[in-house]
């Protein structure tokens, strides 16, 4: 994607905030510890602007990919005089808080941003406990539930929002007993009983249990080959390689066998014939080649399908909540509060229908490039005025944030017009927002650790790594959605920056802390030679390869190289 001057400004704001807060952490704690700070620089290279206040020179440098705090006596090449204001003359117990303060301030920044978002804007949730979709052939459909039913109780517990429904169903699954659902339909009360029986999937260790349910599909992963074949929610799998299937676990088990080893011992996917029936009763069949992913040390074939199981989805009206700036939707005149009614004369009754229809609105040109397919959009304004426009979606090739997307790193074409569906909002008080903000910050840190583990084990693609280009693209995209998304992006990057800097690698803050801990254990300072070797090894074995990889992946995002 081309970058405008405004995009560059967003990129500089994101990095500037995260870096400034990080370096300020080092700076303020160093001052509190009595260590002199000679320079506080945002950016690398010769200073563009500088001003001196007291003993510290404050600078802005031209390379905005980091910053630094230069302290007196911080280099092993410096001639130390043993003064208390020299960094290396200080005890390791004084040095560790100074180094640790940078990453900790990034975590504080993330939590503070999340706090204000939760306190001022709130978080999204689903208030409706009325059914908007009942997937045909699912357990919910077989039990007699219908679109429009208002769920009032699950296993005797009252229902006030969709979270209550999910909680009741989860408790039923854990207890392995039938789930009783009370509902209201056209002023009349009724009860539906959904059977709960679990079966073991495959031959995993430990065993994985799932609900015994019909082979009816729910979400289709856009990264998987099932999406390319046109499978959709509500389709029912009939057979695999001509062998009929009756339950979902049979589908899972048979697809899991579609892998073989070649002469070199490498795993290869095995194509197979998939037969299914659409909700309209049309029988279809096609050959499909699964994608191989790593899970728990095993290589498993996947096609990107999931079971509908109970098949109940809450009502979510196709009403616009946000319009992205500089988007086809904005150009067409769409605004928050507008309700989408028709796309190419096809009724749109649920938010999922709207999203899926738009995402599939593209075709390939003669060179195989995805091109948006124009469609007629009809909507109602909040004043009940009917409007229509021809809209051509923008199509981008991106890594989709799904299980298959993380594992394969495969880029997919995705059409969008720049709208988000309106969601219910729950605001928090001071205490609630504080607790939730800390929880969110911790969750993002855990996500980063999980991704790092999967990168190391090969369960995630290296194409998920991002450098300056990825940050710039993300900053520009999030800024176009609005302030909430933009500041959430800063919070997430800040939390990631904190965790990266805590890795025990000598070039990073965590590596410095590790060396100081070794110094405490040995009760004497490491030699200059040992420190030099530690930094050299860290640079050549970690930093340099990482820089090369990030450069390669970032350039690939711009289309310079063939896919990894």
- Three-state DSSP class for 307? strand
Number of H helices, E strands in the chain: 15, 34
Spacing of C-alpha 256 from chain mean position: 26
CA 539, 542, 548, 553 dihedral sign is: negative
Distance of CA 333 to the CA centre of its chain: 30
Q: Give the E-state strand segments of 61-187 in sequence order.
A: 63-71, 123-125, 131-134, 150-154, 157-158, 179-185
Tell me the HSE value of 521 on the side-chain side, using a 13 A CA sphere. Answer: 6
Contacts of 482 (CB under 8 A, 6+ apart): 322
Nearest to 396 by CA among 358, 443, 425, 354: 358
Virtual torsion, Cα 521, 523, 525, 530, nearest 10 deg: -50
Q: Is the dihedral of CA 341, 346, 347, 353 positive or negative?
A: negative
Contact criterion met (CB below 8 Å) for 391 and 417: yes
338 neighbors 377 (Cβ within 8 angstroms): no
Cis peptide before 206 (omega within 30 of 0): yes
Q: Is 252 helix (H, G, I), strand (E, B) or coil?
A: helix
* Known catalytic membership, residue 79: no
The residue from 23, 74, 182, 459 that is catalytic is 23
3 and 91 in contact (C-beta within 8 Å)? no
Cα separation of 408 and 299, whole Å? 12
Three-state DSSP class for residue 414: strand
Task: Report the distance separating Cα 496 and Cα 444, nearest Å.
Answer: 8
Catalytic residues: 23
């Amino acid at each position: 994607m081309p970058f405008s001057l405004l995009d560059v400004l967003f990129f500089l704001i994101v990095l500037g905030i995260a870096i400034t807060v990080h370096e300020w952490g080092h700076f303020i704690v160093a001052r509190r510890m009595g260590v002199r700070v000679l320079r506080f620089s945002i950016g690398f290279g010769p200073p563009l602007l500088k001003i001196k206040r007291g003993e510290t020179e404050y600078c802005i440098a031209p390379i905005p990919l980091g910053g630094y705090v230069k302290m007196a006596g911080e280099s092993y090449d410096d001639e130390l005089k043993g003064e208390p204001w020299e960094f290396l003359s200080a005890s390791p117990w004084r040095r560790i808080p100074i180094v640790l303060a940078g990453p900790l301030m990034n975590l504080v920044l993330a939590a503070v941003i999340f706090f204000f978002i939760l306190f001022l804007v709130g978080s999204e949730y689903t208030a409706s406990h009325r059914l908007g979709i009942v997937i045909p052939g699912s357990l919910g459909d077989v039990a007699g539930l219908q679109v429009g039913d208002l769920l009032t109780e699950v296993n005797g517990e009252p229902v006030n929002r969709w979270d209550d429904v999910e909680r009741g169903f989860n408790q039923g699954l854990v207890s392995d007993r039938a789930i009783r659902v009370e509902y209201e339909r056209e002023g009349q009360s009724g009860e539906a009983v959904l059977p709960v029986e679990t079966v073991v999937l495959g031959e995993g260790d430990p065993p994985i249990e799932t609900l015994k349910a019909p082979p009816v599909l729910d979400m289709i992963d856009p990264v998987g080959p099932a999406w390319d074949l046109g499978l959709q929610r509500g389709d029912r799998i009939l057979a695999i390689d001509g062998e009929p299937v009756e339950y979902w676990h049979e589908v899972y088990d048979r697809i899991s066998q579609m892998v073989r080893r070649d002469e070199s011992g490498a795993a290869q996917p095995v194509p197979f014939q998939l037969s299914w029936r659409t909700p309209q009763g049309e029988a279809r069949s096609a050959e499909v080649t699964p994608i191989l992913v790593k899970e728990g040390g095993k290589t498993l074939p996947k096609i990107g399908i999931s079971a509908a199981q109970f098949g109940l989805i809450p009502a979510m009206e196709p009403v616009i909540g946000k319009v992205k700036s500089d988007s086809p939707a904005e150009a067409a005149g769409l605004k928050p509060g507008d309700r989408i009614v028709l796309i190419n004369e096809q009724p749109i009754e649920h938010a999922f229908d709207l999203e899926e229809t738009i995402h599939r609105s593209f075709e390939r040109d003669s060179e195989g490039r995805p091109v948006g397919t124009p469609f007629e959009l009809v909507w109602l304004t909040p004043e009940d005025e009917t409007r229509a426009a021809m809209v051509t979606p923008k199509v981008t090739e991106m890594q989709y944030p799904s299980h298959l997307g993380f594992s394969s790193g495969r880029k997919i074409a995705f059409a969008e017009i720049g709208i988000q569906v309106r969601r219910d909002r729950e605001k928090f008080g001071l205490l609630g927002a504080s607790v939730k903000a800390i929880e969110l910050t911790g969750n993002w840190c855990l996500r980063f650790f999980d991704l790092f583990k999967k990168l190391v084990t090969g369960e995630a693609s290296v194409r998920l790594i991002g450098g300056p280009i990825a940050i710039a693209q993300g900053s520009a995209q999030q800024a176009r959605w609005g302030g909430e998304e933009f500041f959430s992006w800063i919070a997430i990057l800040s939390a990631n920056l904190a965790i990266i800097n805590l890795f025990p690698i000598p070039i990073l803050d965590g590596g410095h802390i590790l060396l100081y801990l070794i110094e405490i254990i040995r009760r004497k300072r490491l030699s200059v030679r040992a420190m030099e070797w530690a930094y050299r090894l860290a640079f050549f074995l970690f930093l340099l390869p990482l820089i090369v990889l990030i450069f390669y992946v970032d350039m690939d995002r711009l289309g310079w190289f063939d896919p990894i």
